[in-house]
Amino acid sequence: MAPSRTMLLFSPPLQRLWIWLNTLLLLAGVAVVLWPLGAVLLMALEPTADQTGWTLANLQQAWQQGQFLVAFANSAVVALSVTALQIATSALAGYALARLQFSGRQLILLGILATLVIPFQLLVIPIFLVLKAGHLINTYGALILPTAANGFGIFLLRQYFLTIPPVLEEAAALDGANRLQILWHVILPLARPALTTLFLFTFIGEWNDLFKPLIFTTRPELQTVQLALASFQEQFTSDWPLLMAAVVIATLPVVGLFLLGQRQFIEGIAATGVKG
Give domain status of residue 5, yes or no: no
Question: Does 274 score more than 50 pLDDT?
Answer: no
Q: What is the pLDDT of residues 206-257, one digit of tens each?
A: 999 999 999 999 999 999 999 999 888 765 567 888 889 999 999 988 888 8
Least confident of 98-102, 201-205, 211-215, 261-265: 261-265
Residue 260 sits in a domain of what CATH number?
Answer: 1.10.3720.10
Supply the pLDDT for residue 18: 82
Alpha carbons 249 and 253: distance in angstroms, whole number: 8
Helix (H) or strand (E) holding 174: helix 166-174
Q: Which domain holds residue 126?
A: 60-271
Give domain status of residue 40, yes or no: no
Give domain status of residue 31, yes or no: no
Question: Does 140 score more than 90 pLDDT?
Answer: yes
Q: CB-based burial of residue 161 (10 Å sphere; 0-12 exposed, 13-18 middle, 19+ buried)?
A: buried
The whole-angstrom distance between residue 171's C-alpha and the CA centroid of its chain comes to 35
Domains: count for the chain: 1
The whole-number average pLDDT for the span 90-105 is 93
Supply the pLDDT for residue 15: 75
